[in-house]
Amino acid sequence: MPIFEYQCNRCGREFAQLILNSKEEKEVRCKFCKSNDLMKLISSFSVHQAESSRLADFDASKPRGDDFYKDSRNIGLWAKKRMKEMGVDLGPKMDEIVERGRTGKILEDYEK
Ligand SMILES: [Zn+2]
């Protein structure tokens, strides 16, 4: 099920919206202030997929492009934040994924 995350450019709040078709996607408005000035974030579905594949990839210790680190970092932090907000506890596995994203090379990239 395609659930998209949006950030409102007007009030800055984030919310999730279930999108059943492309027509609905165009009519999405902020749940808080009804603005249609929205920035689309990554979907929950994509995050779920990315987590497992990225976790599998991580131990390979191969050099990655900038996009990989940028993306992985965002997903880790974002996902943890979302899970917390939604009251979902994925346990140590989630923490491990996020911690990997916060240490080592990724951290160096983050500090720039
Ligand atoms: Zn808003």
Tens digit of pLDDT for each residue in 78-108? 666 766 777 776 677 667 766 666 665 444 5
pLDDT for res 11: 97
Ligand 1 centre distance from Cα of residue 15 (Å): 9
Selection from 10, 78, 9 nearest residue 50 by Cα: 78
Q: Where are the alpha helices (DSSP H) in 3-43?
A: 22-26
Q: Hey, where are the domains in the chain? A: 3-40, 46-111
pLDDT for res 86: 73
Q: Residue 50 and residue 21: Cα distance in Å, rounded?
A: 23
Ligand 1 centre distance from Cα of residue 6 (Å): 10
Query: Does residue 70 surpass a pLDDT of 80?
Result: no
Element (H, E) at 82: helix 66-85
Ligand 1 centre distance from Cα of residue 88 (Å): 24
Ligand 1 centre distance from Cα of residue 68 (Å): 30
Ligand 1 centre distance from Cα of residue 33 (Å): 4
Q: Which residues surround the ion ligand 1 when the cut-off is CB under 5 Å? A: 8, 10-11, 30, 32-33, 35
pLDDT for res 35: 96
52-66 confidence digits (pLDDT tens): 665 665 555 555 555
Selection from 6, 61, 59 nearest residue 29 by Cα: 6
Average pLDDT over residues 71-77: 60
pLDDT for res 105: 47
17-51 confidence digits (pLDDT tens): 888 888 888 899 999 999 999 998 865 555 555 55
Query: Does residue 14 surpass a pLDDT of 50?
Result: yes
